[in-house]
Structure 1
């Protein structure tokens, strides 16, 4: 008789138990697989969402694997001095801009590329021919010449100015340099130019009209943006970013300082992105007094009241005024001018104690109780809430201008519709000012990745709306379609380039879907504390810099301590769907004190955590929350409740927090 050591006996016993368990699970899984194949095979592939290697690029000296700028991160700089005049009869801007361009890259540059966005209004521009922004039947019979360039002078290393060779192609211009601009060097470009407002397109419904003229009872309101040639971004990812301006994709710009002087008839009131440097020269004595009062007043102050709009004495008695503004550390500059403005302002104190001037300008016909009367209130809340929640508002003032634009954002100044009322007016003001954080502070590439500003901003808007005035506007839906509609087969993936997304999908994909997914991640996957910490760190790390999508993904992964590849891949890089299904429930036999066996199958390509409610025949309920990692072993997950005895009902995601595409298979009942 062979006597085995006790350790061997124990090992054999353990082996037999494991073998029986494996056989049991093999039998169940084989049975389930056969049933699945008979009805519907799962599309899920675990290795697609949980790969051994990340789908994010490896870190380098420019951009680290932790989603932070690397020790050798660089970006170039563009400082602008612009002197222009407005001809309000011909609606033409003329002037000279001087750009000081700093080459901080590691390479010598023999030419520079500039954005010429308003050339999109030229006949047969790529934007017009592509018809991305025109509705059916739009009248495009009247075209402009876009930018008129008289000359470009180049002054290398503060030397003699030389006439540069230029090449204009659609919405971009190449300036050839007489000698290479070496790393660490600066160059001055002096551009004499003109720009004709594109009024011939006022009846067209398109995204490209981010500059325009609104006729009002007391005169035109000029919304002036993309009004000067602007440097394209040279970065370590794509080199020169020279994608054409077609409409859906917005802007990608370098940071710098702006000194802007605007000359026009003195009857006009002007506001702009930057700080007003010469108020004594452009305001009447009473307006100057009110302007100074507003800078310390908790209540709004009318710098020009409604009854003064048509009064000539409300403006200085001289033919022309030159308004001088300065803005520091910004990526763009916009301004407005009108004879018709009611102008009000209020002092806004941020949580840190910093003071910001909230400025609102609108025509008398917009001064309504549920509309522009509340502009200052909305500005104050937005700046204070976002400053406390995410990062401090970076400018000294925030200007809200009534226009015929549905809403458009620039550093320190936004254009909102003169006609909006109620919830829509709140939503637009909050959203456009929210763009201060994305992309004004965090300078992502809107031409390629619009979701990184529109979607992030929409997510922040939803949080702000819940807090504003005790939830005054909380009843309005955050998503105007069913959640399943965000994952329709016809939709492009979020990371699709904006101009490639069909126009009727832009809002759904870039705004609503991204906002929904970030909320899902914050409230049901990571938790608010972990997400908010990570989101704030991302803003802090990339303020005044140029992050890519991979930087955002890596940053959130690093700060939360989670590998969220499964989420970024399925929800952002792809348009995967989710469907969790109760495949089988095996109750113990009558009179047997055993646990039920519950089998769940992941039917679609996406994975999400599993929340499941189990009701026993004795009416006791238990809720189980399993992490997404349960799907790393495949499409089928089997578990038993903690309590012995038969179950009467099993329900997946009773709160409906996850985007399950088929809820008909989320419930099982024994009766």
Structure 2
């Protein structure tokens, strides 16, 4: 999902980070503490490796739905038969369903209020007396009938955006329950009221474009980790849904074109012969073919038929179902073959004439590029279709998504609009993988779908165009957020409803963190293997954060708990500073020290206190000590300890060591240009990261070095690194490629080379032994140049 909510909201809030510390008063032992105290305990459902356990289960729901779109009244009427399968080991006394459309109701919404303030600038149309008590605005779900399969009424309770159906008898493991619901609701103007579904009215031609989403009563998830996920729908946290098969028929005006989740089952009945012929041709085309043409769409805009047609679709193993309907649609498509599984996919785009010059050129090809690239990094795309609908916003559902991308009236567009459209299509099509297949709980953890998806979106944008201006993913793009005051931040591991900085927190920071892992900490090969393992393990299942963290550790062989702790559970930024550089030069002229020292002999090693066990053992006549009976082990020290050997403990004894000598001239010539540089670093931000250095020498050459984040494990506040170079160093640059999201680069450079303040002594060992040791531009150059492509 992409909304204007993604912009930074500079508000103040008290946040308590979830970073549990076992050694809070020390400068070590915190940031590298394992996550064992935070993550849930592994069990038969979810293993310590991050994989589903041998007892893993999930419930299922199949839907058979009919819908009637009343364009004149802007009302949707529906009837559904739901078959719910209880695969859990638990007895269920009731079922919970979601009535998301109640979000638009003034009296049935979730009731999650936020602060309101006096305006500085007001629209006169919005100035109305506050209605107290609030009146019903007429929106929200109206339940006409709720029955069992035989038509017998069922008891139910509606709690805001949630509905509980009380079962006539307990639903046990392995059993299924079939029930029916008839409902209707007034479709909202999504351009005015907001939200993901509704209609958009085009005053120029008098037509609507409908996006029908969250439109049917949908089963909540019942899981091993939460039970029923029935947190209210506030419009922010998205969805937790079960997999199932769908059969859906939509009764719409005869001149409407319908696109939906799943595969169309009666195109020959609802399309004209010419359109159906183009549809068949598109199924083997490697370039997009217009199935419904621009001219046909313009003609339909004016006809406004009063006849009706029924479109039928089916989808298997999906967690949701969405659709769109309008007489304004142009429709193009082509075949895409996924290399990994040879799956043949119809990539298709639907768009009004207002988007023609952008969508016709780019949309379907971006879809194809997206599902291929995501298949490379995650799992092979398994569904028969992938679709992008131009609907002036961004939102995702299985096999279908809604995006923006309209041109100016003259057909030109800005570069920012083009790149923004490509980015949002990649993002929303990419949601087919996260969370439509790798089915995380969006209501609780927005980052598990938005963050992971934004990361793979970045990889896909990079493979689309090397100059693509990605806004999320590169480390430097998160810096402005990371440097905010801590009272304006919250950990990534925060419930979606409670996040202030939603865009940076749920999208940018997790995506950036994964990119840092891939490029800087783990390397591409290790990361990509682990990420694919996670995707494969949890495809068509319900993963939780611990499953992701543990799988990434398990499949890579990297202990990344320090990273999850700091980047996901904490709010500390990265700010590593070069505190000081000390320069030393060798001193070959010093006389070697005559290394000698004096000592007096040690007194016998006796216990400082005779404990009770020793006393009683001596008194026990049944005990004979081994050394008393074996004379062979009674050595000098046994006798010395008992006063039988005498040594003068007052006399000083001298030990001399003379194994150093001056470096010979022939060796000195090789070493006299050596400089030693000790670089002291401070961790000013708190979040540990690898230390990445670029050394520039006076002769213009460069070297780089990387120290892992573990360099901070024994002192999380400051560390030092010493280097020896045989040429003079001109400057040191910390994090030269801006890979770590360091919020203050002003302290990342050292370039003031001073003469050595002292010398370090160098000698040659006489007898050496073995040693141990990315744009929203508003300008339109295309228009200025008078070109339209």
The two structures share one fold, judged by TM-score above 0.5: yes
Number of residue pairs matched? 618
Name the structure 2 match of 1:657. Answer: 739
Using the TM superposition, give the Cα deviation of residue 311 of structure 1 relative to its aligned residue in structure 2, in angstroms: 4.1
Name the structure 2 match of 1:558. Answer: 554
CA distance in 1, matches of 2:532, 2:572: 28
Name the structure 1 match of 2:395. Answer: 408
**Conserved? CA contact 2:105–2:136, under 8 Å:** no
Asked whether 1:548 is paired with 2:544, we answer yes
2:71 alignment partner, one of 52, 72, 88: 88
CA distance in 2, matches of 1:628, 1:590: 31
Name the structure 2 match of 1:641. Answer: 723
Name the structure 2 match of 1:167. Answer: 157
Q: How big is each residue's C-alpha offset from its partner over 1:118-172, in whole Å with a ceiling of 9 and x where there is no partner?
A: 10111144556525999976959882331111121124xxxx4431111001100
2:138 alignment partner, one of 114, 136, 144: 144
TM-score norm. by structure 1 comes to: 0.86
2:686 alignment partner, one of 588, 598, 605: 605
2:704 alignment partner, one of 623, 633, 642: 623
Do the aligned partners of residues 83 and 315 (structure 1) sit closer, same or farther apart at CA in structure 2, a change above 3 Å counting? farther
Using the TM superposition, give the Cα deviation of residue 491 of structure 1 relative to its aligned residue in structure 2, in angstroms: 1.9
1:197 alignment partner, one of 174, 179, 187: 187
TM-score norm. by structure 2 comes to: 0.73
Name the structure 2 match of 1:519. Answer: 515
Q: How big is each residue's C-alpha offset from its partner over 1:604-627, in whole Å with a ceiling of 9 and x where there is no partner?
A: 321111123445678775433111
Partner SS, residue 441 of structure 1: coil
Q: How big is each residue's C-alpha offset from its partner over 1:6-46, in whole Å with a ceiling of 9 and x where there is no partner?
A: xxxxxxxxxxxxxxxxxxxxxxxxxxxxxxxxxxxx99843
1:495 alignment partner, one of 493, 496, 513: 493
**Conserved? CA contact 1:154–1:177, under 8 Å:** no
Partner SS, residue 533 of structure 1: helix
Name the structure 2 match of 1:219. Answer: 207
Using the TM superposition, give the Cα deviation of residue 644 of structure 1 relative to its aligned residue in structure 2, in angstroms: 6.5
2:353 alignment partner, one of 348, 355, 364: 364
1:132-531 to 2 correspondence within 5 Å?
143-155=137-149, 160-199=150-189, 202-204=191-193, 206=194, 208-215=195-202, 217=205, 219-311=207-299, 319-351=307-339, 352-368=341-357, 370-404=358-392, 406-417=393-404, 419=406, 421-468=417-464, 470-471=465-466, 473-474=468-469, 483-488=479-484, 489=486, 490-502=488-500, 505-531=501-527
CA distance in 2, matches of 1:165, 1:269: 38
Do the aligned partners of residues 662 and 648 (structure 1) sit closer, same or farther apart at CA in structure 2, a change above 3 Å counting? same
Structure 2 segments unaligned to the other structure (5+ residues): 1-23, 129-134, 408-416, 589-671, 755-789
> Please, what is the CA RMSD of the aligned residues?
2.9
Using the TM superposition, give the Cα deviation of residue 577 of structure 1 relative to its aligned residue in structure 2, in angstroms: 1.7
Deviates more, 1:415-424 or 1:516-525: 415-424
**Conserved? CA contact 2:579–2:680, under 8 Å:** yes
Partner SS, residue 505 of structure 2: helix
Name the structure 2 match of 1:47. Answer: 29
Q: How big is each residue's C-alpha offset from its partner over 1:330-383, in whole Å with a ceiling of 9 and x where there is no partner?
A: 000011111122222222222243211122212222211x34442222122112
Asked whether 1:670 is paired with 2:753, we answer yes
Deviates more, 1:445-454 or 1:613-622: 613-622
Do the aligned partners of residues 422 and 622 (structure 1) sit closer, same or farther apart at CA in structure 2, a change above 3 Å counting? closer
1:46-85 to 2 correspondence within 5 Å?
46-51=28-33, 54=36, 55-85=38-68
Q: How big is each residue's C-alpha offset from its partner over 1:531-573, in whole Å with a ceiling of 9 and x where there is no partner?
A: 1111111111000111011110111011111111111111111
Partner SS, residue 264 of structure 1: strand
Using the TM superposition, give the Cα deviation of residue 474 of structure 1 relative to its aligned residue in structure 2, in angstroms: 4.1
**Conserved? CA contact 1:598–1:638, under 8 Å:** yes
Name the structure 2 match of 1:105. Answer: 88
Using the TM superposition, give the Cα deviation of residue 313 of structure 1 relative to its aligned residue in structure 2, in angstroms: 13
Using the TM superposition, give the Cα deviation of residue 279 of structure 1 relative to its aligned residue in structure 2, in angstroms: 1.8
Q: How big is each residue's C-alpha offset from its partner over 1:623-666, in whole Å with a ceiling of 9 and x where there is no partner?
A: 33111111111133233214478755443223221122333333
Partner SS, residue 452 of structure 2: helix
Do the aligned partners of residues 132 and 164 (structure 1) sit closer, same or farther apart at CA in structure 2, a change above 3 Å counting? farther
Deviates more, 1:651-660 or 1:236-245: 651-660
**Conserved? CA contact 1:348–1:380, under 8 Å:** yes
**Conserved? CA contact 1:255–1:544, under 8 Å:** yes
CA distance in 1, matches of 2:365, 2:428: 15
2:582 alignment partner, one of 582, 586, 596: 586
Partner SS, residue 437 of structure 1: coil
Using the TM superposition, give the Cα deviation of residue 521 of structure 1 relative to its aligned residue in structure 2, in angstroms: 0.7
**Conserved? CA contact 1:43–1:603, under 8 Å:** no
Partner SS, residue 96 of structure 2: strand
**Conserved? CA contact 1:283–1:316, under 8 Å:** no
Q: How big is each residue's C-alpha offset from its partner over 1:227-263, in whole Å with a ceiling of 9 and x where there is no partner?
A: 0000010111111111111111111100000000111
